[in-house]
Each structure stands twice: as C-alpha cells, then as structure tokens.
Chains A and B, each alone.
Chain A
C-alpha cells in the first residue's frame, strides 16, 4: 500500500510514532480535513506545507487533541501514538499533551515572569526535584530556544513584555521544558528574524535526535532545510506526502508542483 511504500523509501529504518488514518475534521458543517493518512516517524522532522486555510493547523491540533477545546470541532478516524489510539475514551488528553507538546501559531506566553513561563511545565509534571534543577532546566531550555542571552538578566520580567519574536521563542522554550516525545510547531518562525530563525532551525535539528518534530511552515526553503518528510495539504486534502527532497525536486501531483513553484497559494 501507499503508506508502506513511503516507509520503505525512508533512508533509515525509522519506526512510526504517530499513525493517522482516515482523519476527518468537521467544524460544524464545514469539512476542514478530508481522509488524511500520515505517518510521523521517530527522530524525524515532518513539515506540513500548503496554502492558508488548507487545514494544517487543524491536523496538527488533532495530534494532541487540542481540538477537544473547540466545541464545534468533530474528529473522526484513527490516530495512533505508539500503537495506542489517542481518541480512545480511556486516554487522558492531559497525559497525551505532556507527551505531544505544542507551539502555537500565535505566541501566547503566560502573563507571568519569563522564568515562570518556562518552569511551569516541569513544575506541574514534577520533572525536577529542587530549585537548582529547575533553574538548570530553565536555563538550558532558554538556551535551546536561542533566548537565553537576551533574557538572562531579567528572568523576573513579564513574558508578555518581550517582543513578538522573543515571545515565540519563549513559547518554544516552554514547550521544550516539558520534555515532550513529539513536538508540534505551528509556524514557529513566522515572527522571527533570519538569525533567530536559523537558531530555531538548529534547535529543531537537535531535537530530532530525541523526539519527532512536526512543523507547519509557509516557507518552502525552511521545509527543505529542516525536514526529512514533507506533507502538502490543499483544501483539506493531503495531496502528497513523501521524502522532502523527492517532494520538492520531483512532485507527483500537479497541485504540489504549482504550489512549490509559486503558481497557487
């Protein structure tokens, strides 16, 4: 079958962490996502690309059940995390979200201090035993998110007082601090300058050694730079999903080709 072929084409013998089959999402009467099948492999960066409103964020939010919070959203189909259906009634979405972390499209730091923003996840999950350990986690996460040098002297300052790009990096640090196994990032670099973008891309590459990363991006170059697999969405359909270099150099679907060459969007 088609998905197995994709797996065979993967260079290394990665195992799928998340397997999505026939995922449909309705917002009220509007059908936002149609029969999407995607495999997110371990230690791989997967990029979602596609024109605005095609359902990238919607699909991303299905992967950690953030769509539960949208009353009108109805998700059908099957999404397995390590072989377990995440929509099983026995699954506690809270535990799922601790494993599958998320960085949102719009930066949303807590109206608390920078330190507390990063420390919140480790605190509620009991990941650290004492203050010194927590300090260490906060520092390393802020360093990973390329924010440490800018905020190390004002960790007590409000997180909402940072610039838009700094806020987004703070949110990345916050998501990394809970040590997720899969990290979902919805356009994490849309508010960042090229330097910070490069740093975040470096972080993504680094994270790949431990977790799977899914990144939504509008930048084809970014998808090409950081990801090993790319999925192209169009009007709620998954049009094409494959190895990044194949998709960009040799698109199978005419819609993919016109999108990556800039003719639709």
Chain B
C-alpha cells in the first residue's frame, strides 16, 4: 500500500505493478471505452439496417418492365385526311393510339407464335401501361413524319407486370386481383422468354413527372427533383449572404448591449421553432398576403430560408468567434480597417466553419417536408416548371414531399417508388456533403 503516514518518511514504492487505486482507475477507463464502442456499434448497425431496408425496397424502382415490339403507325387511323396537319391529327385521342398499340402487340405475339390462351383481348391490352398511348401520341404529334412507318418501341408494361418481374405480384395475389390473372402471368413468362418483356434501367423514374394512382409504372421524380434543386439554389442564394452578413455584423460590429442580447437569444429560439410553424407563416405571409403563386419553388424557398437562416447564423457566428482575437489585433494594429480585418483575415479563417454550417442548414432544408405541405407543394404537378428564373414561380413539388405523397397511395407499386425517391434524396445529400468537403479542403489552411 502507498498510504502516507504524516511526518513519517514515505515508504519506498515501486512503479512496477499496479496498486488497487490504479486498478480502479484503469477499470473505469476500460468501462468508458466499452460504452463508447457499444454506442458507436449500435448507431452504425441502425444506420446499416436503415440503408439496407431503403435500398432493398427502393433499388427496384430504377428498373422498369417494358415491352419491345414494332408498331405500325397506320396513316388511315392517325391521319385520316392524309395532310400531316398537326391540328387535324390532334383530334385523334389516346383511345385511337391505344387501339393501335393493342393491335401491334397482338400482331407481334402472332408473328412470334406466342399463344395467348386464357387471356382475353381486353386482358392482353391490360398488360400494357395505360400511360403508353399518351406517350406514343405525344411522340407522333411532335414528329408527324413518323406516320405510315413502322417503329420499334419499348412500351411501359402495366404496374402489375412490373410487380411480377420484381416479385411483388405472385400467382396467389393475382387470383384476388381484378387487374391481373394467373393466365396473364403465364403469358408474361412466355413474353420474357421471347425477349419481348424485359426490365431495363428506368430513366423515366428520374425524369418523368408524377403519375396518377392507376399508373404507378409511369410515375417519376422529374418535377420533384427540379423543384428541390430550384429551392436549394434559392435558399443558398438567400440564406448564405444574409446569414454571413448578419453574423459578421453581430460578431464584429454590433455593440454589446441589451438589444443585441435580445437578438441573440431570439436567433437561438428561432432555430428551435418547429418547421411547420414556418409553413403556416409562409402560407399567411407569402401566399395570402404577398400573393405569390401556391406550390411554387419561390414560396418554398422563402419558407425554408426562414427556417435555415438561424442555423446558418449560429454556425457562422461560432466559426467567426473561433478565430483568435490576436489575429484581429494584428491587423488593426497595422492600420487595417475593421472591414479589411474581417475580409482579409477573419472570413478566410472562418470559411471552413461557415461552409459546414451552410451545407448542414441546406441539407436540413432539403429534407424538410412539413412546411412545404402547408404551402401546397404536395399538389399533383404534371408539368415541368420552366427554366429559372420564371420557373421559380411555376408549380412544383419537392423530393421529401413526393416521398410522403407516394407513401400515402394505395397501390403497393408506390412503396418501391417512395423508397427509390429516398435513395435519390440521399444521393442529393451525398453530393452536397461531398461539395462541402471539397470546398472545405480548398479553404482550409494547413497552418
């Protein structure tokens, strides 16, 4: 033992071996390390589980069942007058094109010698997506010279066929389903064998607008991605300059008094306000009072900016405060003005912190759903917004809102799509984080 007796000479102790006190200290340290490792393992496995569910559900959204066969665009049906006049041709509705498609499909089956036993003509047509005639019509109207030719096209298969290829639809579920029958699934098997039915990469998932409940196979993220991208650009343009300027003013110029104290407290409070409150504010101020168009990226961006600004200000102020005061003294001491001190010395040193804060704020804004629901961004939007800047005023949706609205739909095909949308959202976040890291590297001073 190493107990001292007052006044007596300390007994000679060895530094070899461990005392009881040391052992207790070491045990505490080991325990602490174990807690840490446990916590990290736990969070990593939860993260892995989350990613695994999202990817296993959502990756299939990037492939889509398609039927490839030649389509004869008969002139008598599509252009009865024979003058290739667009206005005349526009009178032919999708019903006409639907018939054309069904005929072409049937003819292809006959030519390839694929039996259609147990499948009625109507059911045969139901193997194709209800979206297909509209797509073909738009293509022909855009390019009337196609009339009279035979075109090889990949046509979207119906959502049920797609589900069958991906394992979502089975013969048991088909028994109870009025949109598909086991006989149709047998036919689908033969179509796959004949090379007509396949599931290639689905670019339309990334480019198409949303589609109605009956056509999950046609639904895409195009409008949502444009909406989210517009909003992120606007939020960055609004928040970063205002946030950085406000932080610089508060940290470097503002007198330290009651008013600035109150401002400081309120900025922290604002950061803690639930985001839906900002949605109500946006509805009242930007839509009802300022009469900006509903569902538009500009309103979404303004609301998200209100929400993000406090976060950016807090992060920027912390970054500015972390710059050693001696640097400011040095610059002021040789006659630099306050502004020169800030721009030449403080900002470059604070830049990595400011960037991290800004990207973090933007990432939160990107994933924000609730306030966007309130300003109508959940609406079904069929048209792409125009290119900026006017497109900022067109109706659009956003990625997280699209996830939300797909999850609420009844057709199970939308489950896969919402997980796919989450993957795209995560992809956006990944790109933003990589940008942040690259920018930080660029600004970080290694001395």
Which residues of A are in contact with B by a Cβ distance under 8 Å? 64, 66, 69, 71, 94-95, 97-99, 101-102, 104, 106, 108-111, 120-121, 124-125, 158-161, 171, 174-175, 177-178
Contact = CB atoms under 8 A, between A and B. Distances in A.
B296 to A, nearest CB: 45
**In the A-B complex, the 5 residue pairs with the closest CB atoms:** A98-B335, A158-B447, A108-B326, A102-B333, A97-B335
A110 B340 CA distance: 13
Interface in B412-432: none
B327 A160 contact: no
B122 interface: no
Nearest to B334: A121
B171 interface: no
B59 interface: no
Given A108-B326, A124-B340, A161 B333 contact: no
Given A69-B325, A108-B327, 12 more contacts: A66-B333, A69-B328, A94-B336, A97-B335, A101-B334, A106-B326, A108-B326, A120-B334, A121-B334, A158-B445, A161-B447, A178-B334
Nearest to A125: B335
Contact of B333 (A64, A71, A95, A106): A64
Given A69-B328, A111-B445, A104 B333 contact: yes
Interface string B312-347: 000000000000111111111111111010001100
A66 B326 contact: no
A171 B333 CA distance: 11
Contact of B447 (A98, A106, A111, A178): A111
A171 B446 CA distance: 20
Contacts of A171: 330
A109 B330 contact: yes
A227 B334 CA distance: 23
B329 A69 contact: yes
Given A106-B326, A111-B447, A69 B332 contact: yes
B168 to A, nearest CB: 58
Contacts of A120: 331, 334, 336, 344
B254 to A, nearest CB: 11
A173 to B, nearest CB: 11
A139 to B, nearest CB: 18
B110 to A, nearest CB: 79
Contacts of A111: 327, 349, 445, 447
B176 interface: no
B335 A110 contact: no
A116 to B, nearest CB: 10
Nearest to A65: B332
16 contacts: A64-B333, A69-B329, A97-B335, A99-B335, A102-B333, A104-B330, A108-B326, A110-B327, A120-B336, A124-B336, A124-B344, A158-B445, A158-B446, A158-B447, A175-B333, A178-B334
Given A111-B445, A160-B447, A97 B326 contact: no
B442 interface: no
Contacts of A71: 256
Contacts of A174: 330, 334
Contacts of B340: 124
B389 to A, nearest CB: 38
A160 B327 CA distance: 11
A125 B335 CA distance: 8
B324 to A, nearest CB: 8
A98 B333 contact: no
A177 to B, nearest CB: 8
A98 B345 CA distance: 18
Given A98-B334, A98-B335, A66 B329 contact: yes
A102 B335 CA distance: 10
A158 B446 CA distance: 9
A65 B337 CA distance: 13
Given A111-B445, A111-B447, A124-B340, A97 B330 contact: no
